Amino acid sequence: MKKHQISVVVPVYNNIKYTTQFLVSIYKNTKIPFELIIVNNGSTDGTKEFLEHFDCKVINKKENVGFVKAVNEGMKKASGEYLVGFNNDIVVGPRWLEKLVNAANSDGRIGIVGMIFNGGGSFQNLGKYPFQGKVIPEQNEVDNINHQLESMYDGKVIEEKHSIPFSLALIKRKVLKKIAYLSEEYGIGLGDDGDFNIRARAAGFRLAIAKDGYFYHHGRTTFKILFPDQEILDMQNTNMDILKRKYPEEYKRVDDQPEREFKKADKSKLNILLTNNHLFGLGGSETYLYAMAKELHKRGHNIEIFTLNPGPVAARMEEFATTVTTEPKAEYDLILINHKTCLERLKNTTGFKVFTSHGIYPELEQPEIGANAYVGISEEVVDHIIKKSFKAKLIRNGIDCHRFSPTKQINKNLVSVLSLCQREEATKKLKEACEFLGLQFNSVPTDREKRVWNIEELINNADLVVGLGRGAYEAMACGRAVIIYDERSYDSIQGADGIVIPDNADEVAKNNFSGRRFKKKFTVHNLIAEMEKYDPVMGEFNRKYALENFNIEKQVDKYLELYANN
């Protein structure tokens, strides 16, 4: 490809750190010749002097003329047949430019090409792609996403119905020759790309996206240093009014998209797929799945369950699911996914996919590319997902608070203790502590395949329950006092949080009642000390806390809201 067949135009105003990141990114990841034109919009932070060190054409403006005028001026000075407009707060991946050009050349009718990105705050819509939940400021993470996309979508494009955001877009010169440049009636920006896209489609050009490429966009970094949030919103609304006034039929059509109407009309009865890697025994994910299926079925939705490893629990699931299958259908409205193995298996199944991470250590719980939204069941898990470079929403584990409810009052003085611990070492310590205090002791089998289904009966026969995570939630919902403790762990921490009281409940919840909040080391002596803190009012508090924070009805509301708002 000969030099200057491609021109890259980038307006900048201050924010030198983003410009630096951008320049490093494109020089590292671009292997074909291109012309770089930077329009410096009157920067005052040393950007002008900084740009002198790069092999590029710089147009220095005395004042900030805004994005639209700067892009237009840069494009008028460009020599390429392909013009790429950029924001300067972008990080691109390997072969980004080749991917855009390949997509543009795949069909002579294509006039504008975009690329999958994280959303970055743009109000233009690229559509629902499984990678938009990503928040990736690091180059290596952008590279990883691109490598995965290349294996899945190598060279493939799709036509967009409405717009390609101009945070990063390739425009063929023949489009400019036919419809001219960006409309400057939108001031410094916001809405100009939507206007250009409408004119391009009206002129017969197709809009496409290179599905094998991804870029990260910080989003509106220049706007944010120039204007307060409300002023940005006001400008956006003003410019949207201009668009609707200029193109009333276009925006009537956008507002009336069949997909949106379908959601509004049919959201009371969705086709929902629930997934779990295995249905062997009564672990936390299986009982969570059962509670979700029951609540969604109660609301009138059509429920199917997908698993890679059917087992005895499958029969329980069939109480509320039309089928439990290893072969899902091609399409659903909503897909609620446990475990990354299920996410990988469902990559060719369409529907709004929500991946829920129930922990931070097991490999099955690690978030992977492929979902439309990501959920963590505690603050710790949400932080973990974000560190993995995904956006995440907090939705705590849901408990069926009708099934798990008090059937008898706990005793004024501690009489009976139930262990839900999964390690024999923890059970032995608890038994020894109970023997010392003269308390009744019971425990569940550590093997999940041998556990009883009606665990709520055992819980309600105890005054105090010892365990972690979902078991602790269920005991709280039953109005029992609870000690957060077990010896099991997925890393070197084998901790405990102690007895749950009003003063520590919110803190313990941040780590999913896992023992990792306070990370105490419990001996038999420590367990005795915790048991001696027993107070029957703890049961009443725990029941109220569970109803407020773990009630499956509230959690299902949040999942359905996540679906409805996307």
Domains parsed from the chain with CATH numbers: 6-225 (3.90.550.10), 266-398+553-564 (3.40.50.2000), 416-550 (3.40.50.2000)
Confidence of residue 447 (pLDDT cuts 50, 70, 90): low
Confidence of residue 111 (pLDDT cuts 50, 70, 90): very high
Question: What span, in angstroms and rounded, lies between the C-alpha atoms of 79 and 210?
Answer: 23
* Res 301 pLDDT > 90: yes
* Of the candidate ranges 60-69, 102-111, 262-271, the one whose mean pLDDT is the lowest: 262-271
Higher-confidence position of 486 and 364: 486
Q: Which residues fall within 8 angstroms of residue 108, CB to CB, at 6 or more apart?
A: none
Residues in the chain: 566
Q: Mean of the pLDDT values across residues 422-451?
A: 88
Q: Is the pTM of this model over 0.95?
A: no
Confidence of residue 252 (pLDDT cuts 50, 70, 90): low
For residue 215, CA distances in Å to 97, 194, 222, 230 come to 11, 20, 18, 27
State the number of CA atoms in the 13 A half-sphere of 60 facing the CB.
10
In which element (H, E) is residue 20 found? Answer: helix 16-29
Q: Mean of the pLDDT values across residues 214-226?
A: 71
For 66-93, what is each residue's pLDDT tens digit?
Answer: 889 999 999 999 999 999 988 888 889 9
Residue 284 is predicted with a pLDDT of: 79
Distance of CA 416 to the CA centre of its chain: 42
The rounded radius of gyration (Å) of the Cα atoms in the chain is: 28
Residue 278 is predicted with a pLDDT of: 86
Question: What span, in angstroms and rounded, lies between the C-alpha atoms of 149 and 161?
Answer: 22
CA 116-122-127 angle, to 5 degrees, is: 45
Question: What mean pLDDT is reported for the chain?
Answer: 85
> 544 by DSSP, 3-state: which?
helix
Question: What span, in angstroms and rounded, lies between the C-alpha atoms of 294 and 477?
Answer: 17
Question: What span, in angstroms and rounded, lies between the C-alpha atoms of 351 and 346?
Answer: 10
